[in-house]
Structure 1
């Protein structure tokens, strides 16, 4: 029974192979002239058979150099890869096209499709954003090169979308430092630095209220877990961050929590200042009084 099934599968595979080898596409690919292949590739392209069109154009491009068909073969080939979602390859091909055929009527479209292909290849916000930065730069380069292009609005929209992705990535990174800061002092420091960087890069972000509060919390926690010699400076920094937070978000939902940290920081500052004063006083008392005469001993009589 199993042997019979295997024979049927083998026979079916052979039939598909034979029919495929006798198909018009296979005949064209094996025996067609360059002119016939080019016309066939264009026909497959019009039918949106991107795979077969791509195979033919790829084969033709090396032999069409210098001909009138070379420009369109490369342009169409780039699109066949784009439509098959091979975005990095299509980006490379579109870039090569507008660099090679800078005066072509399709050069502007090719430059746009280069940037658009990169945009399509950008990852989700939680992954590495190197490609997002590259795509953003390419879109901006296109706007700079063609400020009046019909693609300008689309490029602007995509740049804003990619910037939001970068913003979300930076926000999650800052929060990750905050979430893990309980494990060591270095994480508290990294959290504050990451939040400061985020606020500089995205001053109008919707996440800034939450991060401004987390910065107070991180600096306050850093002060609490620091050596006594570092605490005064860090409690003062927590108070500074609190004051910045309250000035900018006076009705924040985080206000009560931040006020508690502020009050504790003030009390700790007072305690540490008093402790410093007492130690300084003890230090002064321990030193000999230079105005009193030295004690006379047998040695200096």
Structure 2
């Protein structure tokens, strides 16, 4: 019984192969002239049969080199790959087209499709954003090259969308440093640096209020966990960050938390100043430069 079933499956597979080998497309591929293949490729393209059209154009491009059909074969071939969601390949093909046929009526469209293909291939914000940077650059290059193009508004929209993706990635990176700071004091420093970099790159971001507060918190925590000889400087820095935060966000929901850290920093500064004065008078020993105020992994 099982052998009969296997036999039927093999017979069916053989029948499919036989039909395929006898199909018009197969015959065209095997025995058609270049002219017949080109016309067939155009027909498949118009029917949105991107796979068959792509196979024929790919085969024809080397043969058609130098002919009048060569330009359109390469242009259509790029589109067949785009429609099959082979975005990196289509980007490569569209770029090659506008570089090869710079004076073509389709050069502008090809340059746009190069950038658009890269845009379609950009990953989610939580992944590596190298492709996003490349796509953003390509879109901006297109706008610069064709400022009056019909695609200008769409390119501008995509650039803003990709910048939002980069912004979210940078925000999450800064927050990650902050979240891991409790395990390694070096992360407090990294968190402050990442937040400052974010503020410079995205000055109008909706995340800046939260990050400005987290910078106060990170610097305050850094001061608490630092070597005693470095605490004064870092508490003062936390107070400076607080003042900047209050000046820019006077009604922030984080205001009370920031004010508490400011008050604590002021008290700690007063304490450290008094201890310095006492040491100068010889009433206290000089603190051990290697002794942190709290248990920490770094200084």
Q: Give the TM-score range, shorter chain.
A: over 0.9
In structure 2, what is the Cα distance between the partners aligned to 1:225 and 1:252? Answer: 27
**Offset at residue 2 of structure 1 (A):** 1.9
CA distance in 1, matches of 2:4, 2:268: 86
Structure 1 partner of 2:266: 266
Task: Note the 1:117-156 alignment, pairs <5 A.
Answer: 117-156=117-156
Question: Which contiguous aligned blocks of 4+ residues in structure 1 show a shift greater than 2 angstroms?
Answer: none
Q: Counterparts of 2:224 and 2:283 in 1: how far apart (Å)?
A: 26
Residue 283 (structure 1) shift: 7.8
The runs of 5 or more residues in structure 1 that have no matched partner are 285-301
Larger radius of gyration: 1
> Deviation per CA, 1:178-221, whole angstroms, max 9, x where unpaired?
00000111100000000000000000000000000000000000
Q: 2: CA distance between counterparts of 1:171 and 1:253? A: 19
How far apart are 1:259 and its partner, in Å? 0.8
Mapped to 2, the partners of 1:159 and 1:110 lie a distance apart of: 18
Question: What does residue 190 of structure 2 align with?
Answer: 190
Q: TM-score, normalised by structure 1?
A: 0.93
Aligned twin of 1:208: 208
TM-score normalised over the length of structure 2: 0.94
Check if 1:50 corresponds to 2:11: no
Give me the whole-angstrom Cα distance separating, in 2, the residues matched to 1:233 and 1:106. 62
Offset of residue 3 of structure 1: 1.5
- Matches of 1:283 and 1:179 in 2, distance apart? 41
Tell me the residue number matched to 1:256: 256
Deviation at 1:118, TM superposition (A): 0.3
Residue equivalent to 2:71? 71
1:281 shift after superposition: 1.1
Tell me how many residue pairs correspond in the alignment.
Answer: 284
- How far did 1:5 drift? 1.5
What is the alpha-carbon root mean square deviation over aligned residues?
A: 0.9
Secondary structure class of the residue paired with 1:35 = helix
SS of structure 1 residue aligned to 2:156: helix
Find the aligned partners of 1:13 and 1:184 in 2 and give their Cα distance: 62
Partners of 1:272 and 1:226 in 2: CA distance: 13
Mapping of residues 1-301 of structure 1, within 5 Å: 1-282=1-282
Q: 2:4, 2:261 → 1: CA distance?
A: 79
2:291 paired residue number: none
Question: Structure 2: how far apart are the matches of 1:244 and 1:7?
Answer: 80
Q: Which residue of 1 aligns with 2:288?
A: none
Question: Hey, what's the Cα distance between the residues in 1 that align with 2:195 and 2:2?
Answer: 65
What is the aligned partner in structure 2 of residue 299 from structure 1? none
SS in 1 for 2:111: helix
The structure showing larger relative contact order (alpha-carbon pairs under 8 Å, at least 6 residues apart) is 2
Q: Distance in 1 between matches of 2:226 and 2:88?
A: 49
Structure 2: stretches of 5+ with no match in the other structure: 285-299
> In 2, distance between residues paired with 1:111 and 1:189?
43
- Residue aligned with 1:282, SS: coil
Q: Matched residues in 2 for 1:8 and 1:249: separation?
A: 76
For 1:132 and 1:208, locate their aligned partners in 2 and report how far apart those are by CA, in whole Å. 22
